[in-house]
A and B are shown apart, each in its own frame.
Chain A
Amino acid sequence: MVRLILKTELRSLFNYWKSLGETKMVLYIILGLLLLLFPLPMLVSVIFSLTLSFNESVLDGYILLLSITSAAVLTLLSLHFIIKDMILDRSVQLYLSFPISAAELFFAKFIKHVLIYAASILLPLGAVLGTALSMRFGQWMLLADSLVYFSVLSIFIVSLAYAFIFLTANILPIRKISEILSFLGAISFILVYLVLFLIGDAFTGMTARLSDMPVSFSGFLYDYEVLSGSLAVLLLIAAAVLAFKAAELISVRALSRGWEAGGRTVRKHRTADGRVRHPIGSLMEKDLRLTTRNFKEIAALLPYYLMPLLFIYFSTSVDAGSAPEAIGASQLLVTAIGGTLVISLFIGAYNTARDAEHFAMLKALPLSGRHIAGAKYGFTLLTTVPVVMAAFAVVWLFSSAGIGVLLQLLVFITLVSMAAVPVGMYIGSANPVVSSKNPVKRLDTASNIVITVAIFAALVLTAIILGVLGDDGASPVQLLTAGGVLLVLALSSLWMLRKVGARYDQGFKITYKD
């Protein structure tokens, strides 16, 4: 039965690949080849050179660091995909409606998940590390031990993910766990940069500190000894069996009992009963609930809210040598304009495209496109302007600019947002996407390209304006001119808002995916 399930899963994977279409297939193949050609050889050579060059006294710390880092990343990844496969896709319920036991299903899925989400990365890593260590110590048993070690680590990672999912499924709604994980995924790029920055900066120190931990791989992964090596392998295999059995016990119990009805109480959201509001207020409230009640929404928007930091970083690196404390008035103003433009464009587009999901319902209601577009405009401004203002107010605290500049900042942020949000809404209403598998993917390729081009244009413009202004800051005439232009743009973009309203009236051209 386990083989039958695995064969079905393999067939399903194969069918998914076939259904991708030629363009995507070619794109994925090129991406795969690029990975094989560039980052992979680089990674292999880094691991090789580090393994060969490190002092023997810090080898334990080095191997431990590799293990912890890869385990942390792969556990997050496994959690995300196992939740998708075991819970959200509902294929488990389908399997269990056939004469298949929960234990058989768990076993088959476990094998699949270990192979795809852990071993596919860790075994090549183990092979590289093992080969390097074998060459260094002249003991080929180290390669076998390394493979055993990373296989066991793969089993640990997936066991941990299973145990976590099926234990928490009885406490928290699984949908919420998935949303939280997506949120973590979205901010993980910041964490990755932070970790790389910290590790890059203090790699040797961290490795040395980890070497002081009471963990030793000597005799097993390096400097091989028959007795300790064999004992370690036996212990690891026993630990892997235990981890697997624990995960099996928790998961099979939950699957047999029916995890969805696992005794968790449905959360109540008390709201005022029978409250009738103005339609625009009501539409804005709906948007607010949709955003705040879904971590996936926040996760999708967060990178854009953090974009001003990139602009600040970019502008300070243009002005080489200046420390963050020395950010001047020109830098603040120009980066605020660039950052607000990007945020407003994207969030305007994203919020508007979100309506595609409920467009049939919206169309059936007695609401004019003007009302819906107006509410969307208001909601986007309210969720964009204060956030950007707060971010730049914090940056202003660390700058050399005076209070007058802060006031100018607040005015410019408001005007730019007023001008850019309708343009973003226009982009988002052009061809929104509704994807059941990836609900936050709402913009089509063309809209994404337009926004990406706008981001780069804003970055380049930021650099050019900074170059023109120099260190002396903007003159009053320049400020007034910029303010006047922005005011005209903000007022004329209301024309764009009417176009968006017309699109709501005529109906969106929605692309349904998956």
Chain B
Amino acid sequence: MIKVDRLGKRYGTHDAVKNLDFSVGEGELFAFIGPNGSGKSTTIQMITGLLKATSGSVELFGEEMGMDRVHLKKRISFVPDTPDLIGKLTGREYLNFISSAYRMDETDFREEQQKLVDLFDLEGKLDTLVEEYSHGMRQKVALIGALVHRPDILFLDEPTVGLDPKSNRNLKNYLRDYIKQGKTVFLTTHNLALAEEIATDILIIYNGENLAHGSLGELRSRIEEPDATLEDIFLKLTGGS
């Protein structure tokens, strides 16, 4: 589904991402973790075609991804760490806009939207302007917009920030079910407990480079601590403790 080949991004003389290589298969929940400024958001933007790479390539569904690849964008969704919603639209108008952009079937849209509105407890709250929402509410609307058309690959950058505990748990369960249906989730988070709980594959990026990659078990073996948590592994590998 996702193939990243020697991907690099240089800003001036600074290499934000260096020779990144990995692939993510169907039905996987891929956790992409790293300290602040390690190149996570830059990488996710390059994979989703929002940022041009300096070197290397990204393939989605076997095709090279780029900013103008509309047919590929139709099969993916991206929720950035600070969702870019249009403040002067209501939540409902925003979702109508998204469904139109993805050319959804109206019946499917209504059904899916209702499910997600229930999941995130937004019933009766969609008719106010987005600019009047709290951060958590915006995050919920952004998540609904990303999930409503059921993309084959879902990119989530810090999706749980601002979410209340109930929505947090609901999202976690939803993502588990989602990958069981053969969909792929690419998750970037600082919430290591969440990544440990739901990820099938983990990559730790550090200073723009691939520091470690594998399942939780493989990462534990790498540091020779069979009972280590993902937090222990992360801190040990990144020199945090």
Q: Is the CB of A276 within 8 A of B103?
A: yes
B34-51 contact mask (Cβ, 8 Å, vs A): 1 or 0:
000000000000001110
Residues of A within 8 A of B105 (CB): 276
Residues of A within 8 A of B113 (CB): 273-274
* A interface secondary structure, majority: loop
Q: Name the CB-closest residue of A to B86.
A: A358
B54 to chain A, nearest CB (A): 15
Q: With A271-B93, A290-B86, A366-B74 as known contacts, state yes or no: A266 contacts B102, CB within 8 Å.
A: no
Does any Cβ of B come within 8 Å of A3's Cβ? no
Interface assignment of A278: CB less than 8 Å from any CB of chain B: yes
What CA separation (Å) do A505 and B69 show in the bound complex? 9
B112 to chain A minimum Cβ distance, whole angstroms, is: 9
Contacts of A294 in B (CB 8 A): 88
Q: Residues of A contacting B102 with CB < 8 Å?
A: 365-366
Say yes or no for A506: interface residue by CB 8 A criterion. yes
Q: Which residues of B contact A278 (CB under 8 A)?
A: 100
Alpha-carbon distance A294/B131, docked complex (angstroms): 12
Interface size class of B (residues with CB under 8 A): 35 or more
Whether, in the assembled complex, B14 has its beta carbon less than 8 Å from a beta carbon of chain A, the answer is: no
Given contacts A269-B90, A366-B71, A366-B73, contact A360 B103 (CB under 8 A): no
B residues 112-158 near A (Cβ < 8 Å) are 113, 127-129, 131-132
A513 CB–B CB distance under 8 Å: no
Interface residues of A in 352-410 (CB under 8 A from B): 358, 360-361, 363-369
Binds B, one of A190-198, A279-287, A443-451, A452-460: A279-287
CB distance from A258 to the nearest CB of B (A): 15
Q: Is B227 an interface residue (CB 8 A)?
A: no
Find the residue from A268, A281, A363 having the highest chain B CB count within 10 A.
Answer: A363
Among the stretches B77-85, B170-178, B184-192, B203-211, the one at the interface with A is B77-85
**A279-B101 contact in complex given A361-B86, A363-B50, C-beta closer than 8 Å:** yes
Complex: A277 Cα to B96 Cα, angstroms: 8
Q: Does residue A18 face the partner (Cβ distance < 8 Å to B)?
A: no
Among residues of B, the one whose C-beta sits closest to the C-beta of A291 is: B88
Instruction: State the interface size on chain A (CB cutoff 8 A).
Output: 38
Indicate whether B61 reaches chain A with its CB closer than 8 angstroms: no
Contact present for A276 and B104 (CB under 8 Å): yes
Docked Cα-Cα span, A358 to B85, in Å, equals 7
B57 within 8 A of A: no
CA distance A270 to B128 in the complex (A): 8
Judge if B97 is at the interface, Cβ distance under 8 Å: yes
A271 touches B86 (CB 8 A): no
Q: What residues of A have a CB within 8 angstroms of the CB of B49 in the complex?
A: 363
* B residues lining the A interface (CB < 8 Å): 48-50, 52, 67-68, 70-71, 73-74, 77-78, 80, 84-86, 88-90, 92-93, 96-106, 109-110, 113, 127-129, 131-132
Q: A274-B99, A366-B101 are in contact. List 5 more A-B contacts (CB 8 A).
A: A277-B100, A279-B100, A283-B97, A290-B89, A506-B68
* 14 A-B contact pairs sorted by A residue (CB < 8 Å): A268-B127, A273-B92, A273-B113, A275-B96, A278-B100, A279-B101, A289-B89, A290-B88, A360-B80, A361-B84, A363-B50, A365-B98, A365-B102, A366-B101
